[in-house]
Amino acid sequence: MSLLDDYAALTEACGLPRFDGQLVPYHPALLQMMDLRAFDQMFFKHIPGFDKVVAAYDQMGPTFVGCHKGKPIIIVGCIPLWDGVSELWMLTDTAITSFTRPFWMATKRLVEILTVELSLVRLQCTVCSLNLPAIKFIEALQFKEEGLLQAYGPDQSDFFMYARVTNSDGRLIQ
């Protein structure tokens, strides 16, 4: 069994129990329980039925919900594009500002586990260029900015492309 299929072991590996946190499988009701940050709300505002897009993302690749005392704080998903390459996506609750460090540490460990378990050499992610907390968060996860995607967002905002590139044993090569 893959560690990605054992939520209790994954929660432990990500260090969440000491913060009253846990990782659980995605369920649409958890998304409805979230008070999404403004930059995450943008997708729902500009893309009709974006909740169905999130559900489709969940079917395409592993998706995890980080909770604190049962309250969803962050949703992290990984969509395989082709062998060795996946797209990371996240949605965050406004409460993440109260739990930034533990959920950053857990997400960092989750990214490392995803990289090994899925045999990734490249994990990429787009971040709105105006979303400074998300830029700080993704850079702390050791993603490197690769370039500007002009008018990329659903509101025509600019996004940065970030990537975390590793060698075959999972070590960063950037």
pLDDT digits (tens, 9 = 90+) for 12-46: 999 998 889 999 999 999 999 999 999 999 999 99
Give the per-residue pLDDT at 171.
80
Q: At how many degrees (to 10) do helices 50-60 and 38-46 cross?
A: 100
Q: Which two tokens stand for residue 166?
A: 């590793």
Residue with token string 């559900």: 55
- pLDDT of 114 higher than 90: yes
| pTM for this entry | 0.95
User: Domain coordinates of the chain in residue numbers?
Assistant: 3-119
DSSP state of 93: B
Phi, psi angle pair for 21, to nearest 5°: -115, 165
Sign of CA dihedral 97, 61, 172, 129: negative
Sign of CA dihedral 155, 156, 162, 163: positive
Question: Please, which pLDDT band fits residue 174 given cuts at 50, 70 and 90?
Answer: low
CATH top-level class of 3-119: alpha beta
- Mean pLDDT in residue range 38-67: 97
Give the per-residue pLDDT at 40.
96
Question: Please, which pLDDT band fits residue 99 given cuts at 50, 70 and 90?
Answer: confident
CA 65 to chain centre: 9
Quote the radius of gyration of the chain (alpha carbons, Å). Answer: 15
